[in-house]
Amino acid sequence: MNRFLRLFQEHDIVLGDGAMGTMLQRLGLTSGGAPELWNVEAPEKVQSVHRGYIEAGSMIITTNSFGGTRYRLALHNLQDRVHELNKAAAAIAREVAGDKVAVAGSMGPTGELMFPLGTLSFEEAKDAFAEQAAALVEGGVDFLLIETMSALEEVQAAIEGAREAVGEDIPIAVTMTFDTRGHTMMGVSPEQALEAIYGWGIRFIGSNCGNGPEETITAMEKMAAVKPDDVILIAQSNAGVPRWQKGGEIVYDGTPEVMAQYALRVRDLGVRYIGACCGSTPDHIRAMAQALGLAPSPT
């Protein structure tokens, strides 16, 4: 059986990982640099991030491919290296994960506005996501995680592109970001998101990123109230609220203790796939694991 699906047969709660970009910046990635390039230029550093999360208790690790579509990579003049960088991201994670930890193939937004608000057509978006999905699956991911989405049209393009590229056998999970008065930037509510994504045949649905745990908890409350029985909810909150410091550095106010409480609260709402997002580290995941009873307390 697929490793990702097997986790939910074997465990009531499945613990994801935390931030990739935050950790790579600690290892020397400069602001404005392309994280995906490190999959070929500094693979040992990407591996060390994955290894840290597994040691902290993560049952799922997420590939370093969030900005891996041709549109995001074009910001770094890397648009012709989609296959190489995404396949490498998946292979790096697969090597560290082994057989018991599942690998999520991260697929973030293109960064483009879709027609009619922008110039990106549905077919162009679908093709870009198909290209990325094919490389991630070739590299060894267990499922595709379409994450940090704001527009349902882009979610649909990602789902259709992924299915066109890799078929129906690879599971797909989708999370949107509800960071604008309880809605996504494009005005989608948690209830609308769940209904639409469920209608496209996806059964792993939730929220990630945002402005901290309280926002994610609210989104989960709304999804939990309307979800069909066969939906598994996902919550992957930022580690608190991001704040700018002098010098342009972004810091987050969510301590490991704050994130441990968040993990308990979303668990109590029925969320089964619990992780973290920007600003989080293995220390946050370790605290969440211990709070959820998924890891032994330190001696």
Q: What is the CATH number of the domain that holds 204?
A: 3.20.20.330
- In the predicted model, what is the mean pLDDT of the chain? 95
Which helix (H) or strand (E) segment holds residue 19: the answer is: none
Give the rounded percent of residues in the chain with a pLDDT score beyond 90. 90
- How many folded domains does the chain comprise? 1
pLDDT of res. 247: 67
User: What value, to the nearest 5°, has the Cα angle with vertex 36 and ends 33 and 86?
Assistant: 160
The answer as to whether 135 is a domain residue is yes
Span 110-127, average pLDDT: 94
The answer as to whether 298 is a domain residue is no
> pLDDT-based confidence at 246, cuts 50/70/90?
low
Span 261-280, average pLDDT: 98
pLDDT of res. 63: 98
**Predicted model pTM:** 0.95
* 275/189 Cα distance (integer angstroms): 21
Span 109-115, average pLDDT: 94
pLDDT at 228 over 90: yes
Buried b (16+ CB within 10 A) or exposed e, 38-66: bbeebbebbbebbebbbebbbbbbbbbbb
The answer as to whether 148 is a domain residue is yes
Please classify residue 30 by burial: count the beta carbons closer than 10 Å to its beta carbon, then call 0-12 exposed, 13-18 middle and 19+ buried.
exposed
* 187/153 Cα distance (integer angstroms): 12
Tokens of 280: 């989080």
In SS3 terms, 61-94 reads as EECCCCCCCHHHHHHHCCHHHHHHHHHHHHHHHH
pLDDT at 104 over 90: yes
The answer as to whether 207 is a domain residue is yes
pLDDT of res. 16: 98
The answer as to whether 299 is a domain residue is no
pLDDT at 171 over 60: yes
The answer as to whether 151 is a domain residue is yes
The answer as to whether 297 is a domain residue is no
Domain that holds residue 245: 3-291
